[in-house]
Amino acid sequence: MHVSFVCTGNICRSPMAEQVFRAALADEGLADSVTVTSAGTGGWHAGEPMDPRSAEVLVRHGYAADHVARQVDSGILSADLLVALDAGHRRALRDSVPEPDRVVLLRSFDPAAPSDAEVPDPYYGGPDGFDEVLRMIEAAMPGLVERVRKEM
């Protein structure tokens, strides 16, 4: 199975979600059964590392932070599940795939969040925004892992 996370530039939200999901899969013994990737709807950061503020938050919370940004391409679009970080990403992905049910919002897996809740872009805000994004991502992981387990 292939799960891909998508945000705008692939340097903040989607790479954070990718790393947290990898860790969640490892904790559940599923790491070898799922390919996990991330990408951005735009390519202006392609080839760059993760935003240092995202990397700092991940490392501080015990996650890996290795990453090279990429833009959505045919390999990403062929993923079994495309996990968008906000409604704009979801719209862009649904316009690009013939099966729109493969495209979901990440926070739809958080039972405490509304089904249409988004993960806000922390890029232009302060450092607290990155911590908040991590909390939102972590809250969605149990539900996402369960969805993947059911589909495998």
Contact (Cβ atoms closer than 8 angstroms) between residue 46 and residue 69? yes
- The answer to whether residue 7 is catalytic is yes
Q: Which of 7, 53, 70, 86 is catalytic?
A: 7
| Structure tokens, 96 | 């690009």
- The answer to whether residue 12 is catalytic is no
User: Of 92, 95, 102, which Cα lies nearest the Cα of 147?
Assistant: 102
Q: Which of 13, 53, 90, 107 is catalytic?
A: 13
- The answer to whether residue 147 is catalytic is no
Rg, C-alpha atoms of the chain: 14
SS3 140: helix
Q: Which of 22, 80, 102, 121 is catalytic?
A: 121
User: Of 25, 118, 13, which Cα lies nearest the Cα of 55?
Assistant: 13
Instruction: Please give the positions annotated as active site.
Output: 7, 13, 121
